Structure 1
Amino acid sequence: MNFAQLLFPDFSLILCGYLVCRYTALNRAVWEKVESLVYFFLFPVLLFQSIVRNPLDLGEASSLIVAGLLMGSVAIALSYGLPYLPVIGRHIDRRDHAAAAQVAFRFNSFIALALAERLAGARGLQLIAVLIGVCVPLFNVGAVWPMARHGQTGFLRSLLRNPLIVATAAGLAANLLGFRMPGWLEPTVNRIGAASLAMGLMAAGAGLQLASLASNKVLTVGVLAIRHFIVPLVALALALALRLDAVQTTVLLAFSALPTASSAYVLASRMGYNGAYVAGLVTLSTLLGLASLPFALGVLR
């Protein structure tokens, strides 16, 4: 499989946003409004639709669900624990860590869906949809918690006001209740979802400042090592321990090695944190996917 071809659209959109913001009249003032549109409308619609699109068969995929939730919990715990590690912890800025922690465990759902279909056809697509449906609520809560805690805002209040979490919870409830998007509305919703992906990635590029990565080297290495090296190893151990079948193991390994979510930048920026730094992490994570996906699906599998 050509992973470079799979990841090129995301990386090229980030680069496009960077160039447009730096070298045209569409400067940061314009892109701040774009970020608000993506955060409060486009991304929530995308999340809701991606969860209700396919029925969640929780019984058939119970072992895979357990593996996905355990893998995500380990990644969240490792990410939260970085500032408390001996020696390296004192080199990590706590505020930047609050914004960057999410990079270690969140994932790009569009790449997940495309990859699963290529690897395992219709069954792979269904299994990855189940993982997305059960893991997105956990990961979104995990992403918001350190920023709400560090910003000394109420955690519950931050969750209830976060449009990404509200959309995720609504989508999961609607799926379990049997709701399906009406056929006449689905093309419109799909186009909104496609627009959210493009605009979110371009907004990440517009906010990109690679100098921020150099000033946070320890944190950068820590979150990206968790995302692209440690989490695939955890996934393999869980697949063996829970005796997943071949297709479930393939889907879990692919899920474990994905680049981080492009919405990580939008979330950090809109909650008042260092969005430029998180944008740099999103860019690096997209590039590192060229190594972690072959590592997980080739070496580990």
Structure 2
Amino acid sequence: MQAILNVAFPIFGVILAGFLAGRWRILGGDATAALNAFVSYFALPVLFFGTLARTPVQAVLDPALLAGFSAAVVATFAMGMVTTRLVSRGGLAAMSLQGIASSWGNVGYMGVPLCLAAFGEPGLPPAMLTVIVTAVLSMVFGVMLIELEVAAGHGPIRTFLRAAFNVARNPLPLSIGFGILASWSGLVVPTPVEKWIDLMGAAAAPCALFAIGLFLSDKSIKSGLAEAGLATLIKLLLQPLLAALILPFFIDIRSVPGQVALLMAALPTAANAFVLAKQFDVSVEQNTAAVLLSTAFSVITVSALLVWVGVS
């Protein structure tokens, strides 16, 4: 109960505030896009870079954590693809988007603030590693599979390079790469710059959570509930269960990195699933519903997991 009050309630409370602000039209119609841009291009990248620049590289690039978390993501991606094939006989693009909805958790906007609230600064390096894993596996592999059907004829190599380029130019993985490079090179950040980084980074968590609420406020569930329900079950229940079974073979599940990975596996579907569906005009209703349903039910599942791991 203490974990729910101290960690889950503030996190979901800020999301609710953003949702209500959107529903009550307190902010202008462009507020969602503007706040998302601020979080994606400024607040979170600055937080990621500042944290990693002051963290030893070996504390971030943990091969054991990388392998264990990757296995859980890949397994749920494959399971998501199979469910769409069985339920609607969808093609490769639809299957891939279901795989993304089933495996790509909201690790950036929700996961980083959650780990920061639950574990403090020690929770950030492993959290950022899960951001890298999720972006590379779900985005590169997922987009590549989508484009193999949607953009047929371009060839697998060109398709892979295009998907990899989309990840490489994303400010979040980019800031992580620069942060690791700064740490490896022993870069000393000047005090004024360090204070600017701390000030800007402090805005990341509340703004990211508020942006989730704003995003959800103008979405509705109209159809695609069967596949969305399956994606929600896989993302909220199966992925953390697999993580709990797989991770002990690689790392101590009771350690901070182990608990961070477990929490990251339990997060709801990222809004990127909707964005990609909209971009390719495939399974838009199903992915919209998956984001909404998984976020709503994650209030219960994430809170329960926080209690189970003993976070206070």
Coarse TM-score class (shorter-chain normalised) = 0.7 to 0.9
Aligned partner letter, 2:233: A
Q: Deviations over 1:2-59 (max 9, x none)?
A: 221201222112111121122135243232222222222222222222322322335x
Q: Once the two structures are superposed, what CA deviation does each residue of 1:259-295 show, in whole Å capped at 9, x if it has no partner?
A: 5389x33685499556855652344334420122334
Unpaired segments of 5 or more residues in structure 1? 118-124
**Correspondent of 1:265 among 252, 261, 271:** 271
* 2:70 matched residue in structure 1: 72
User: CA separation in 2, counterparts of 1:50 and 1:271?
Assistant: 32
Match of 2:115 among 109, 112, 117: 112
Residue identity matched to 2:36: E
| Per-residue deviation, 1:82 | 1.0
Residue 289 in structure 1 maps to residue 302 in structure 2? yes
Deviation digits for residues 71-113 of structure 1 (CA, Å, limit 9, x no counterpart): 2332233224412246346489558536624544836123223
Counterpart position of 1:141: 136
Letter in 2 for 1:113: L
CA distance in 2 between counterparts of 1:278 and 1:42 reads 26
d(CA) in 2 for partners of 1:74, 1:203: 27
Determine if the alignment matches structure 1 residue 198 to structure 2 residue 224: no
Q: Please give the alpha-carbon distance, in whole angstroms, between the structure 2 residues aligned to 1:83 and 1:270.
A: 16
Match among 189, 192, 202 for residue 197 of structure 2:
189
Q: 2:146 aligns to what?
A: 150
Partner residue in 2 for 1:40 = 41
Query: How many residues of Structure 1 are paired with residues of Structure 2 in the alignment?
Result: 283
Check whether the contact 1:55–1:176 (CA below 8 A) recurs between aligned residues. yes
Alignment map for 1:161-200 (pairs within 5 Å): 161-200=169-208
Kindly tell me: are residues 31 and 210 of structure 1, through their superposed partners in 2, closer, same or farther at Cα, counting changes over 3 Å? closer
Q: Which residue of 2 aligns with 1:3?
A: 3
Residue by residue, what CA displacement relative to the aligned partner does 1:119-167 show, whole Å, maximum 9, x if unpaired? xxxxxx64x4442343332222234222465365721321232112211
8 Å CA contact 2:46, 2:201 repeated in 1: yes
Q: Which residue of 1 aligns with 2:156?
A: none
The aligned counterpart of 2:262 is: 256
Greater shift, 85-94 or 217-226, is seen at: 85-94
Pair 42,289 (structure 1): closer, same or farther in 2 beyond 3 Å: same
Unpaired segments of 5 or more residues in structure 2?
Answer: 152-158
Is the CA contact (8 Å cut-off) linking 2:98 and 2:231 kept in structure 1?
A: no
Taking the aligned partners of 1:94 and 1:209, their CA distance within structure 2 comes to 27
Give 1:247 shift: 4.6
Q: TM-score, normalised by structure 2?
A: 0.72
Separation in 2, partners of 1:40, 1:96: 25
Aligned counterparts of 2:29 and 2:143: Cα–Cα separation in 1: 23
Write the distance in 2 (CA, Å) between the matches of 1:157 and 1:28.
Answer: 31
One-letter amino acid matched to 1:50: T
Aligned-residue identity in percent = 19
Question: Is the CA contact 1:43–1:193 (under 8 Å) kept in the aligned structure 2?
Answer: yes
Superposition TM-score, scaled by structure 1 size: 0.74
Maintained 8 Å contact 2:69/2:261: no
Inter-CA distance 198–80: structure 2 relative to 1 (3 Å threshold): farther
Task: State whether residues 228 and 292 of structure 1, in contact with CA within 8 Å, keep that contact through their aligned partners in structure 2.
Answer: no
Query: Does structure 2 conserve the Cα–Cα contact (< 8 Å) formed by 1:35 and 1:203?
Result: yes
One-letter identity of the residue aligned with 1:136:
V
2:86 paired with 1:87: yes
> 2 CA distance for matches of 1:99 and 1:185?
37
- 2:206 is the counterpart of 1:208: no
- Of stretches 23-32 and 273-282 in structure 1, the one that deviates more from structure 2 is 273-282
The DSSP-based 3-state class of the residue aligned with 1:207 is helix
What secondary structure is seen at the aligned counterpart in 2 of 1:54? coil
Q: What is the letter of the counterpart of residue 284 of structure 1?
A: F
